Structure 1
Amino acid sequence: MSVREVNFDGLVGPTHNYSGLAHGNVASMSHEGLVANPREAALQGLEKMKSLMDAGYAQGVLPPQQRPDLGALRDLGFAGSDAQVLARAADEAPQVLRAVCSASSMWTANAATVTPSVDAPDGRAHFTPANLQSSFHRYLEPATTGRVLASIFADEARFAHHPVLPATPAFSDEGAANHTRLAGDHGEPGVHLYVYGRQAFGGDGIAPRRYPARQTLEASQAVARQHGLSDAQTVFAQQHPEAIDAGVFHNDVIAVGNGPVLLYHEVAFRDEQGTLDALRERMASPLIPVRVPVEAVSLDDAVASYLFNSQLLSNPDGTMTLVVPGECQEREAVWRCLQDHLLAGHNPISEVVVKDVKQSMRNGGGPACLRLRVALSEAERAALSGRVLLDDALHGELVAWVERHYRDRLAPADLADPALASETLAALDELTGLLRLGSVYPFQR
Structure 2
Amino acid sequence: MKCVEANFDGLVGPTHNYAGLSVGNVASKSNANAVSNPKQAALQGLAKMKSLADMGMLQGVLAPQERPDIYSLRRLGFTGDDANVMREAYKQAPHIFLASSSASSMWTANAATVSPSADTADNKVHFTPANLTNKYHRSLEPVTTGNILKAVFNDERHFAHHMHLPDNDHFGDEGAANHTRLCHEYGEPGVELFVYGKHAFDDNQPKPSKFPARQTIEASQAVARLHQLNNTRTVFAQQNPQVIDDGVFHNDVIAVGNRNVLFYHQDAFLDTERLKTDVLAGLDERPFHFIEVPRDSVSVQDAVKSYVFNTQLINLPNDEMVIIAPMECQQNPAVYSYLQQLTQDNNPITNVHYFDVKQSMQNGGGPACLRLRVALSEQEQGGVNKACWMNERSYTALQAWVNKHYRDRIHADDLADPQLLIESRNALDELTQILNLGSVYRFQKA
Q: For the superposition of Structure 1 and Structure 2, which TM-score range results when normalised by the shorter chain? A: over 0.9
Aligned-partner Cα distance in 2 for 1:12–1:228: 32
Aligned-partner Cα distance in 2 for 1:191–1:11: 29
Aligned-partner Cα distance in 2 for 1:380–1:205: 41
1:359-388, CA deviations, whole angstroms, 9 ceiling, x for partnerless residues? 000010000000000001111111112510
Aligned-partner Cα distance in 2 for 1:370–1:245: 23
Post-superposition offset of 1:331: 1.0
Contact 1:386–1:437 (Cα < 8 Å) also in 2: no
Contact 2:191–2:235 (Cα < 8 Å) also in 1: yes
- Map 1:297-308; keep pairs closer than 5 Å: 297-308=298-309
Which residue of structure 1 aligns with residue 340 of structure 2? Answer: 339
SS of 2:193's equivalent in the other structure is strand
Contact 1:132–1:172 (Cα < 8 Å) also in 2: yes
Aligned-partner Cα distance in 1 for 2:133–2:288: 33
Aligned-partner Cα distance in 2 for 1:232–1:363: 38
Task: Establish whether residue 248 from structure 1 lines up as the match of residue 254 from structure 2.
Answer: no
Contact 2:25–2:248 (Cα < 8 Å) also in 1: yes
Which residue of structure 1 aligns with residue 48 of structure 2? Answer: 48
1:415-438, CA deviations, whole angstroms, 9 ceiling, x for partnerless residues? 000000000000000000000000
1:282-311, CA deviations, whole angstroms, 9 ceiling, x for partnerless residues? 114322111100000000000000000000
Contact 2:57–2:317 (Cα < 8 Å) also in 1: no
SS of 2:247's equivalent in the other structure is coil
Task: Establish whether residue 11 from structure 1 lines up as the match of residue 23 from structure 2.
Answer: no
1:328-367, CA deviations, whole angstroms, 9 ceiling, x for partnerless residues? 1121100000012x11211111010000000000010000
Post-superposition offset of 1:316: 4.0
Aligned-partner Cα distance in 1 for 2:207–2:383: 43
Contact 1:207–1:241 (Cα < 8 Å) also in 2: yes
Post-superposition offset of 1:167: 0.9
1:59-113, CA deviations, whole angstroms, 9 ceiling, x for partnerless residues? 0000000001001111111101111111111110111111111000000000000
Aligned-partner Cα distance in 2 for 1:316–1:193: 25
Whichever residue aligns with residue 212 of structure 1, its letter is P
- Map 1:12-411; keep pairs closer than 5 Å: 12-202=12-202, 204-284=204-284, 285-340=286-341, 342-385=342-385, 387-411=387-411
SS of 1:307's equivalent in the other structure is coil
Name the TM-score, length of structure 2 as normaliser.
0.98
SS of 2:322's equivalent in the other structure is strand
Post-superposition offset of 1:318: 3.7
SS of 1:365's equivalent in the other structure is coil
1:132-159, CA deviations, whole angstroms, 9 ceiling, x for partnerless residues? 0111100000000001111111211111
In structure 2, runs of 5+ residues without a counterpart are none
Aligned-partner Cα distance in 1 for 2:204–2:261: 30
SS of 1:309's equivalent in the other structure is coil
CA RMSD of aligned residues (A): 0.9
Deviates more, 1:356-365 or 1:196-205: 196-205
Whichever residue aligns with residue 400 of structure 1, its letter is A
SS of 2:86's equivalent in the other structure is helix
Post-superposition offset of 1:313: 0.5
Whichever residue aligns with residue 335 of structure 1, its letter is Y
In structure 1, runs of 5+ residues without a counterpart are none
SS of 1:214's equivalent in the other structure is coil
Post-superposition offset of 1:206: 1.3
Contact 1:196–1:236 (Cα < 8 Å) also in 2: yes
SS of 2:29's equivalent in the other structure is helix
Whichever residue aligns with residue 311 of structure 2, its letter is S
Aligned-partner Cα distance in 2 for 1:184–1:320: 13
Post-superposition offset of 1:315: 2.8
SS of 2:257's equivalent in the other structure is strand
Aligned-partner Cα distance in 1 for 2:55–2:151: 28
Q: Aligned in 2, Cα 1:386/1:437: closer, same or farther, shift over 3 Å?
A: farther
Aligned-partner Cα distance in 1 for 2:48–2:157: 32
- Runs of 4+ with >6 A deviation: none
Which residue of structure 2 aligns with residue 443 of structure 1? Answer: 443
Name the TM-score, length of structure 1 as normaliser.
0.99
Whichever residue aligns with residue 419 of structure 1, its letter is Q
Post-superposition offset of 1:203: 6.2
Whichever residue aligns with residue 298 of structure 1, its letter is S
Whichever residue aligns with residue 34 of structure 2, its letter is L
SS of 2:309's equivalent in the other structure is helix
Q: Report percent identity of matched pairs.
A: 56
Post-superposition offset of 1:162: 1.0
Contact 1:318–1:348 (Cα < 8 Å) also in 2: no
Contact 1:18–1:363 (Cα < 8 Å) also in 2: yes
SS of 1:95's equivalent in the other structure is helix
Aligned-partner Cα distance in 2 for 1:443–1:151: 17
Aligned-partner Cα distance in 1 for 2:317–2:92: 56
Contact 1:61–1:389 (Cα < 8 Å) also in 2: yes
Task: Establish whether residue 415 from structure 1 lines up as the match of residue 415 from structure 2.
Answer: yes
Contact 2:129–2:163 (Cα < 8 Å) also in 1: yes
1:22-50, CA deviations, whole angstroms, 9 ceiling, x for partnerless residues? 00000000000000000000000000000
Aligned-partner Cα distance in 2 for 1:150–1:392: 24
SS of 1:267's equivalent in the other structure is coil
